[in-house]
Amino acid sequence: MEGAGVRKANAGNEDLEELLARVRACRLCRDAPRFGSPLPHEPRPVLQAAPGARLAILSQAPGARVQASGRPFTDASGDRLRDWLQLDKERFYDPTHVAIVPMGFCFPGYDAKGSDLPPRRECAPLWLDDILQHLESLELVVLVGGYAQKWHLDPAFRKLGLTETVQRWREIYRPDAPRRIIPLPHPSWRNTGWLKRNPWFEAELLPVLRSEVAALMANG
């Protein structure tokens, strides 16, 4: 995909269910970490996908509540994200409609200040491109947070901070493209101040996002 497109890789012969089974069995970050200390708890990869999904949410990493539930966005961030998308839980958690693929599949643990650590760096190079290659029906890709944006967008956008990336959403989103891309801030409560400082997000970007999602769900 040209321009601000999502990165591509070569798809293998493995079907998506086989691939997801291998992802969910992965223990690399605990047993043979490539970046820093081992994951401090039992891995529990959290994601959802199915071949027919037309919407993909490419996000950051599960929090502690999501790690406990084994289901993406089962927290206050999920409530806000579903509001942004105008999706109920039934449709949101239907993998035939919505794929949810984070940068890191397991809760990475806490830093010294009690904040979530960044997504584990083992997951993305090992799994992401192969998963996306199996999602051939995607029409809308939502990039949630700076880690996902820096990984999935073309190089010109990877150098930007989150605010500038989301501000330039009109350069990334191409309404006539077969696979449209929209960048979002993370829906965490920690970004409530950001939302207040950037009212254009709710006034200008969210209506486009909601229109895209509504059209996909109506035709799905």
Residues of the chain falling short of pLDDT 70: 1-13, 220
Tokens of 213: 């999602």
The pLDDT score that the predictor gives to residue 220 is 66
pLDDT tens by residue, 123-153: 999 999 999 999 999 999 999 999 999 999 9
User: Which domains does the chain show, CATH number per domain?
Assistant: 16-219 (3.40.470.10)
The pLDDT score that the predictor gives to residue 5 is 47
The pLDDT score that the predictor gives to residue 159 is 87
Q: What are phi and psi of 198, to 5 degrees?
A: -130, 70
The pLDDT score that the predictor gives to residue 10 is 42
pLDDT tens by residue, 182-199: 999 999 999 999 999 999
